[in-house]
Amino acid sequence: MRGVLRPAFQMAVDDDILIKNPFGFQLLGIIINTEHTRQALTKEQMNKFLKFVRYDNVYYKYYDVFYILFHTGLRISEFCGLTINDLDMNNRIINIDHQLQRTSKME
């Protein structure tokens, strides 16, 4: 990917469209991930968790959120970015073409 983007952005710099090539950096090397592989929840664990959340006096209000996240595979940022226009209730489709991102100015 970088092999395509770097020359394309360099052309924009050469044509005075951009001041600096955002891909004009040198890679120092490959970082090897030494973390262990995460284990996904089993269906039984998921159901226990959802049952706990559903009937807990504090967390019950988040049940729908967790249910949707578990059953759709959405990332939290994708879920938070959903609007009513992204939902097609008749065809049971969720359109995911954007996400909410946190910036340093968010409080």
The answer to whether position 107 is within a domain reads no
Q: Which domain holds residue 81?
A: 43-94
Percentage above 90 pLDDT, the chain: 43
* pLDDT > 90? residue 55: yes
Which pLDDT does position 2 carry in this prediction? 54
Tell me if 69 is assigned to some domain: yes
* DSSP per position, 52-93: HHHH-TTGGGGHHHHHHHHHH---HHHHHT--GGGEETTTTE
Beta bridge partners of 93: 88
% pLDDT > 70, the chain? 89
Confidence of residue 7 (pLDDT cuts 50, 70, 90): confident
CA distance 106 to 89: 32
Report if residue 64 sits inside a domain.
yes
The reply to whether 90 falls in a domain is yes
Per the CB < 8 A criterion, the answer to whether 99 and 80 are in contact is: yes
What total number of domains does the chain contain?
1
